[in-house]
Amino acid sequence: MLRFLLLAFSVVVFAHAELCKPDAQNAFKVRLSIKTALGDNAYAWDANEEYLFKAMVAFAMRRYSSKSTTQISNVLLCNVTDRVSFWFVVTDSAKNVTTVAGSEVEAAIRMNRNRINSAFLLSDKTLQFLKISSTIAPPVEPSTPVWLIVFGVVLCLTVAGIVFLIVTGIQRRKKQNKESSETEDLEEKCEVTVTIENGIPCETLDLKAGHINGVYAADDERFASL
Amino acid sequence: MEKSRPLWDNPLQFVFACISYAVGLGNVWRFPYLCQMYGGGGFLIPYFIMLVVEGMPLLYLELAVGQRMRRGSIGAWKMISPYLCGVGVASVVVSFFLSMYYNVINAWAFWYLFHSFQDPLPWASCPLNGNRTGDEAECARTSPTQYFWYRRTLNIAPSLEAAGALQWEQALCLTLAWLLVYLCILRGTESTGKVVYVTASLPYCVLIIYLIRGLTLHGAVNGLIYMFTPKLEQLANPKAWISAATQIFFSLGLGFGSLIAFASYNEPSNNCERHAVVVSLINSATSIFASIVTFSIYGFKATFNYESCMSKVILLLTNAFDLEEGSLTADNLGAVQGHLQAAHPQRYAELQPQLKNCSLEAELDTAVQGTGLAFIVYSEAIKNMEVPQLYSVLYFVMLLMLGIGSMLGNTAAILTPLTDSKFIASHLSKEVVSGLVCFINCIIGLIFTMEAGNYWFDIFNDYAATLSLLLIVLVETIAVCYVYGIRRFEKDLHTMIGHKPSWYWKVMWAFASPLLIISLFIFYITDYILTGTLQYQAWDAAQVNDD
């Protein structure tokens, strides 16, 4: 009886060893980088952590498919290294000595990745399932690109500055024009009075005998042109 | 009586305008490259010799001509001799070419500036690919900063012929850049005089901040040691001397007519000799200062990349051989690698192609100049600093100030002769002329915002101004010394500043500088002839490198 039990036990162990080995069918390699993630707060990887891992995988399988009756003893770990990497398979609880299809395990892990990560205080990058690629969350993008907003602000300021300068320039020039035409009027009035007060109206001086002095000919240059 | 010429409010505005114009992007992105290529600290020797022999005399000459003739370049040379107004026209044309393509750099600086207000910076990481399993292919092959520059900013075409579509984002930035330039030159010296206070001094503030930040960065010292170790054997290389001469020449912005234009708004009694010496010394000092900053940034970036490379190799080995985390460090890497190679030769051989040889020297040796340095290397260093948004904003504002300062000089060189001409001044007001010039330049500049635009930019950058300027300045020197007569020029200077120029200036003007320019000219012509078909570097999106 004892010998039979021993034989059965060794068969089971042997079968398990057959099921879980590197590159076995439906086996996955897991790699943890605990020191990278947690630094000084890193915990050591021991049998308890392995138990938790098996529990999480069983939990994932159960949560994925409500029909699943995976037990912790169905999850087999092997080849644990110092890196903290190991292989695992999930055996079918109903049928003996067969493994659950890899695609199912993959889907279950994918669905519950967050829960598994947080159980170990790790992230997608530090708890790697080597054949199961994770979808990376895209960066949050605001609805209006930020650069357009800043561009709009700078553009408005620049255009406002240009308009301001042009308008003040036009106003200044109009004021200058008005001032200079006022002074011109004033001087013209003086001229008119002078010529009359002189007694001799200017037109009479326009005699053919008269000699026009060339120095005063270019009279329009007397006033500063604008 | 003539309408009185607008003047600078005080001599300080004039000095700031000259500094703002001369200190441009070339000081930041060309001088450090030359320093690295031609012997590090030893390059300063030919640089200073050329400054004294070529830079200061020619600068003094242009400022004196402008101040004496009180006209823009066309008018000034016409007064020297009626047959020489062609020199002035040539200056205006070259300035026109320059302003066409130079403002595109300001557009790029605006683009990066606007994108600096995000967390994280858009060039910090690659965008994800279609099914969100990894980084986008083109970006993964190169680096995020290069991807952002070549794909997001330029959207570069594979070759010059494939012109591609107009990039509306770049076109918007270019329009904004021209509007800003218009705002600054709208009122002539009145507005320019106030703007140059900012554009001349702000870059120095930013450089000082970067110097302090740069020197405290991890690994900065590596870059500084690398740069300043003089490799004196490079002095025997004639290219070092030619590069020094060329750098001084183009850095001061001689021959464009901008210096003549600026000086024409001076009081006749302004001491342009002192100003010439001050401006050229400040320009050179800024180049050296900027290269200290650049090399501390280089050192930081190289050290960072080297350490990332080492980490990648360590991770690869740790994962492949399932070693304990943290057992492999940079120190014992060599020993452990040897051990692993001996113990598991087959597996190690499989890994061999992925194991890169990390070398700090190789990282430091990647000498970059031009837009590559300003937009790729610096942004890569910035993204790894703390509070990168702040440093990014500061840096691109500095680039903008440098660029706008140079643009002010360029547009002054075009506008001063135009507004001096009675024909134009009587029909159109100053604002309208400035507006027309900016508008025309903006429209033509849209070429550079197309997908192949960067190639056109490179062509213009390399060939638009080089030979023409050498010829213009040569003719200028010969005209002043031999056509106008150096005795007459001496007397004019005596009237203006109060003392005659010393024998040193006269010797430089009459013999040394013309000879130097002629030899530079001959060198460039022979170089063009010997090169044969001219080539340009294109970005290949499939292989993702410049080829």
Q: Is the pLDDT of residue A188 over 80?
A: no
Instruction: Count CA within 13 A, CB hemisphere, residue B365.
Output: 5
Among B114, B128, B187, beta carbon nearest to A136: B128
Q: What is the pLDDT of residue B176?
A: 95
Cβ distance of A151 and B110 shorter than 8 Å: yes
* pLDDT score for B1: 35
The rounded distance, in Å, linking the Cα atoms of A164 and A175 is: 16
User: What CA–CA distance (Å, rounded) separates B271 from B276?
Assistant: 9
- Residues in A touching B117 (Cβ below 8 Å): 146-147, 150
CA B272/CA B278 separation, integer angstroms: 10
Residues in A touching B1 (Cβ below 8 Å): 221, 224
Q: What is the pLDDT of residue A17?
A: 64
Copy the structure tokens of residue B247.
């750098």
Give chain A positions within 8 Å (CB) of B318: 83
Q: How far apart are CA B484 and CA A138, in angstroms?
A: 70
Instruction: Tell me the mean pLDDT in the region B24-47.
Output: 88
Cα angle at B472 between B467 and B476, to 5 degrees?
150
pLDDT at A13: 61
pLDDT at A212: 57
What is the predicted pLDDT for the residue at A1? 76
Half-sphere exposure of B242 (CA within 13 A, CB side): 12
Q: Given A31, A35, A221, which is nearest B319 (Cβ)?
A: A31
Nearest CA in chain A to B2: A224
- Spell out which chain B residues touch chain A, with contact meaning CB-CB distance below 8 angstroms: 1, 3, 110-111, 113-115, 117-118, 120, 125, 128, 131-134, 172-173, 176, 179-180, 182-183, 186-187, 191, 318-319, 322-327, 431
Q: What are the pLDDT digits (tens) for A23-68?
A: 888 888 888 888 888 888 888 888 898 899 889 988 888 888 877 7
Mean pLDDT within B278-296: 92
CA distance A22 to B322: 13
Q: Give percent of chain B with pLDDT exceeding 70.
A: 98
Residue A196 has pLDDT above 60, yes or no: no
Q: In chain B, whose CA is at the least distance from the CA of A221?
A: B1
CB B398 within 8 A of CB B203: yes
Nearest to B186 among A35, A84, A165 (CB): A165
Is residue B283 a known part of a binding site? Answer: yes
Which range has the worst mean pLDDT, A149-153, A207-211, B108-112?
Answer: A207-211
* Predicted pLDDT at B2: 45
Q: A83–B324: do the CB atoms touch at under 8 Å? A: yes
Give percent above pLDDT 90 in chain A: 10
Predicted confidence at residue B278, as pLDDT, reads: 95
> pTM for this one?
0.82
Q: What is the distance between the alpha carbons of residues A55 and A43, in angstroms, rounded to a whole number?
A: 18
Confidence of residue A209 (pLDDT cuts 50, 70, 90): low
Q: Can you tell me the mean pLDDT for B170-186? A: 94
pLDDT digits (tens, 9 = 90+) for B166-177: 889 999 999 999
Residue A160's closest chain B neighbor by CA? B183
pLDDT tier at B329 (50, 70, 90 boundaries)? confident
Tell me the nearest-neighbour CA distance from A82 into chain B, angstroms.
5
- Looking at the predicted structure, is the pLDDT value of residue B60 above 60? yes
Is position B406 annotated in a ligand binding site?
Answer: yes
Of B368 and B190, more confident: B190
> Which has the closest alpha carbon to B479: B507, B509, B454?
B509
pLDDT-wise least confident of A204-218, B249-263, B347-361 = A204-218
> What are the distances in angstroms from CA A42 to CA A36, A120, A122, B323, B458?
8, 10, 10, 17, 53
Task: Out of B205-209, B459-463, B484-488, B489-493, pick the least confident.
Answer: B459-463
Cα separation values, B320 from A27, A129, B344, B352, B353, Å: 18, 15, 11, 12, 14
Q: Give how far A95 is from chain B: nearest CA, Å.
A: 33
Cβ–Cβ contacts within 10 Å for residue B16, how many?
A: 23
Mean pLDDT score, A181-202: 62
Banded model confidence at residue B94, pLDDT cuts 50, 70, 90: very high
Residues from chain A contacting residue B128 (CB–CB below 8 Å) = 136, 138
Residue range A67-80: mean pLDDT, rounded: 83
Subunit contact B326:A146, Cβ cutoff 8 A: no
Pick the residue from chain A with its C-alpha nearest to B316.
A83
Predicted pLDDT at B327: 80
Q: Do A83 and B318 touch (CB under 8 A)?
A: yes
Find the closest chain A residue to B425 by CA distance. Answer: A226
**What separation in angstroms does the CA of B60 have from each of A26, A109, B52, B508?**
82, 77, 11, 11
B385: left (phi over 0), alpha (psi -120 to 50) or beta: beta
Which segments within B125-232 are labelled E, that is strand?
none
Give me the pLDDT at residue B260, please: 93
